[in-house]
Amino acid sequence: MALALASGAVEVVDLTHTLDPDFPVIILPPEFGQCARFRMEEVSAYDHRGPGWKWHNISMSEHTGTHFDAPVHWISGRDVANGAVDEIPVDRFVGPVCVIDCSAGAAEDEDYELTVPVIEAWEAEHGRIPADAWVFMRTDWSRRSGAAYLNMREDGAHSPGPTPEAVRFLVEQRDIRGFGTETVGTDAGQGMHYNPPYPAHYILHGNGRYGLQCLAHLDRLPATGALLMAAPLKIRNGTGSPLRVLALVPGEAG
């Protein structure tokens, strides 16, 4: 593996947004608590507060920026064994990823749904999704910024996501490890109107599977063959965590 990296046969791709106070966070109905944005406060910058060093104190939600969702994030996963970020076995943080390109559909329809037929069409082209893989829904949503990212309207956010049937299919028929999106949640902006509400959160986490959200640059991944590295911070009883998401992909020299 080290030789393949050195020769350029394998390249490292960064799928992470920069943590920045301006990066949007999910907005829930006002009766619920809200997700904190990223904040950074300077402690010193080679000055009288610390002449030889610069550093910051930072704060944010577990669900700010590019982040991992653990099973205990959702009520359906509250009793899942090893369901908090500090309890998940580390081998779960490295594994294969399949990328379903929904970018054309999402460009036409901001409420585009990943359905079972879309997954079956992908498999007809690329082969069956192997057990224990991550599945990513590419929408190119990570190219949006500011208000267009959440895309809030009178009736809430509008962004693409999976149907309950699609999530159930991926978990029950394909035994996936987790599901990742370029949008602010693993669920569609209008995901509260499905049965169950927020089906990706409900079904994934109730079955001990993981989520990744606010991913970037999924257009840089092949449909199959990439190796994902996504290790959340080891927060005791943490429900999720911002993280650096990296993928190893076949390189130019490969």
Site for ligand 23J in 7-26 (CB under 6 A): 26
3-state helix, strand, coil in the chain (%, to 5): 25, 25, 50
In the set 63, 73, 201, 205, the catalytic residue is: 73
State yes or no: residue 63 binds ligand 23J (CB under 6 A).
Answer: yes
> Residues in contact with ligand 23J, total (CB under 6 A)?
10
Which is closer to Mn ion, CB of 69 or CB of 101? 69
CB-based contact 40:166 (threshold 8 Å): no
Site for ligand 23J in 175-214 (CB under 6 A): 185, 187, 198, 201, 213
Tell which one of 23, 60, 63, 166 touches Mn ion (CB under 5 A).
63
Which is closer to ligand 23J, CB of 118 or CB of 240? 240
Radius of gyration of the chain measured on its C-alpha atoms: 19
Any long-range contacts for 78-83 (C-beta under 8 Å, 24+ apart)? 80/205, 80/206, 80/208, 81/208, 83/205, 83/208
Partner that binds at residue 110, options Mn ion, ligand 23J, none, CB closer than 5 to 8 Å by kind: none
Give the contact letters, 93-132, x = binds to ligand 23J (CB under 6 A), - = no: ----------------------------------------
Nearest C-alpha neighbor of 171 from the set 197, 139, 133, 120 = 133
- Give me the least distance between CB of 167 and ligand 23J, in Å please: 13
Q: What beta strand segments (E) does the chain contain?
A: 10-14, 39-47, 50-59, 67-69, 94-101, 113-114, 134-138, 152-153, 156-157, 161-162, 178-181, 210-213, 226-229, 240-242, 246-250
- Give me the least distance between CB of 26 and ligand 23J, in Å please: 5
- Give me the least distance between CB of 86 and Mn ion, in Å please: 16
| C-alpha to C-alpha distance for 106 and 66, rounded to whole angstroms | 20
Is 63 one of the catalytic residues? no
Q: Which residues bind ligand 23J (CB under 6 A)?
A: 26, 28, 63, 69, 73, 185, 187, 198, 201, 213
What positions carry a catalytic annotation? 73
